[in-house]
Amino acid sequence: MKKGKIFLTLLLLAAVAGALALMKQNQDTRRGAAVAGATMSVVPEAKQTKKLGGELKYTVNFVLDNTNARVEAAQVKLCYSNHIEFKSVAGNKSAGFDAEAITAVTKVGDGDKVCTTVAFGSNGVTSDQLNKLKNAGNIFEMTFVAKKKTDGVKSITIDTTNGATVLGAYNPASDDKAITVRNVAGGKYEVTDGSAPSPTGSSPVPSGGPSVTPVCRLVWRIVRDGDWLDRKSNNTERAVGEGYCKEVKICDGDNQLMVIGQNYNTREECEAALKGGDAPVLNYKVSYRGVLPNDHACMVNWPMQVIVLSRGTTQVYNNVIPSEVIDVNEGETKKVVLKGSLVLTGFNYTDQVAVFFKGPKHLQMKYGVQNQSKNYDKAGGELVLTKNAATSPWYDFSNHPMLPGDVVSVLRTGPGGGEDSPQDGDINILDFSYVKSIVAKLETVPAGQNLKADLNGNCQANSADLYLLSKSLEEKQGQLY
């Protein structure tokens, strides 16, 4: 910001803060003045580690408990250590906010603490612009620069004391415009000088929580690119991309191998699948609704079920693990793409193919055309495959994500509730009740672990998961034909 604008900016910020404070004061004298409550979070919550000069990017997200309310103004106070320095901020125009913000950076008489206050308003008053206002999403993205080496892990926090952080509602029918910020969550960071970072705070383990013993198993996998079995012997005869079968010890949180296909019980099964030639190959890209880039530390090796269909013949493949997880964070497009290849052993068709994907917490979704972005409601499908992974088309279904929320089929009393209950192909009041009971406790697990009610894979069951489930409730049951 140019020096000539600093004084004006501070005046504007004071005006915004004063107006919001007065609005809050006036409404507090009236019964039922708050339109909604809100949960706010700094994303990603999991630790980011940067070397000196590196950039840390965070978004500030919100979820309202009143799905009829919408946010049109926000003032957010973020506090952090002086090891990082505020660089820039950009509003989320797709949620109705201005691209530019009023900002003020202040040093606090509390050790190395620094705070930045950011104020946004709606980016317009036309019906099209007001229709962008939402009850959940992100308000803005902030960029910080790593300036000094930290001694361990630090946090960015949202300050809600004395109305420092407040949201304003779009509510033309009433003077009630206050949204109460009830719950907040921060993000962790560490600045290093290039040496190995401290593991402290690398996993969001609750204070005093029990230690977790990893669950491990031996499986055979087809391995490609990197992690070669014979790397230590300097044998470089294999071509790049060529696969081989390897017995692998898989533990919770282990997602290091580039793999293709399923887990196999024996080497013979693995080698038979590797040879291919007689079986079509499905190259796919899919996604889960609600899983966000840089905020999915617990979406690790989520097993999928894949069903292929052609001319009335189906084949089922269980425990399919994608080979690659890709964060897409380009402008308004924010999603996590799961990429992999599946050898369709036992399936003989290469045309008129449809494929059904079902995640471990998701409805079954049908895909029948390339770049599908909505339900495919025809019988059969239009996919064409080959029997060679190199020539079979890559089908991108990631713009039509799998819907989260199918987690239980029955609720049980006692510890764990329905924790061991299977999916039932539907999202209903049983799923809602189960997720709500876990969200009420804000249960959290370490990175790489699985929490059944954690639908977005960020290692905590919170209101964002409940919101995702409620949105899925508006859609139909898993597709079956």
Query: How far lies 125's CA from each of 167, 269, 452, in Å?
Result: 18, 62, 41
pLDDT tens digits along 291-302: 999 999 999 989
The pLDDT, as a whole number, for residue 24 is 41
Q: Determine contact, residues 460/204, Cβ cutoff 8 Å.
A: yes
If residue 271 lies in a helix (H) or strand (E), which one and from where to where?
helix 267-275
Say yes or no to pLDDT of 459 above 70: yes
**Most confident residue range from 148-152, 234-238, 289-293:** 289-293
pLDDT tens digits along 155-204: 999 988 888 888 888 877 666 778 888 777 788 899 987 654 444 333 33
Comparing 38-47, 210-219, 371-380, which segment has the lowest mean pLDDT?
210-219
Q: Kindly tell me the burial class for residue 90, based on how many C-beta atoms sit within 10 Å of its own C-beta (0-12, 13-18, 19 or more).
A: middle
What mean pLDDT, rounded, does the chain reach?
78
Say yes or no to pLDDT of 410 above 90: no
Instruction: Give the residue carrying structure tokens 């713009």.
Output: 399
Quickly count: other Cβ atoms within 10 Å of residue 437's Cβ: 15
Comparing 195-204, 293-302, 317-326, 459-468, which segment has the lowest mean pLDDT?
195-204
Q: How far is residue 481's CA from residue 479's CA, in Å, rounded to a whole number?
A: 6
Taking residues 243-264, report their average pLDDT: 59
pLDDT band of residue 229 (cuts 50, 70, 90) is very low
The pLDDT, as a whole number, for residue 214 is 58
- Considering only residues 365 and 272, tell me which one the structure prediction assigns the higher pLDDT: 365
The pLDDT, as a whole number, for residue 367 is 96
The pLDDT, as a whole number, for residue 65 is 77
Of all residues in the chain, what percent carry a pLDDT higher than 90?
29
Q: Which of 378, 311, 310, 365 is nearest to 338 (CA)?
A: 365
The pLDDT, as a whole number, for residue 307 is 94
First vs last C-alpha separation in the chain: 57
Say yes or no to pLDDT of 31 above 90: no
Of all residues in the chain, what percent carry a pLDDT higher than 70?
75
User: What is this structure's pTM?
Assistant: 0.48
Q: Determine contact, residues 453/436, Cβ cutoff 8 Å.
A: no
Bridge partners of residue 320, in order along the sequence: 262, 304
Taking residues 51-57, report their average pLDDT: 90
The pLDDT, as a whole number, for residue 411 is 76
pLDDT band of residue 3 (cuts 50, 70, 90) is very low
Helix (H, G, I), strand (E, B) or coil at 227: coil
DSSP 193-204: SSSPPP-TTSS-
The pLDDT, as a whole number, for residue 455 is 96
Phi, psi of 25 (to 5 degrees): -65, -45
- Considering only residues 404 and 256, tell me which one the structure prediction assigns the higher pLDDT: 404
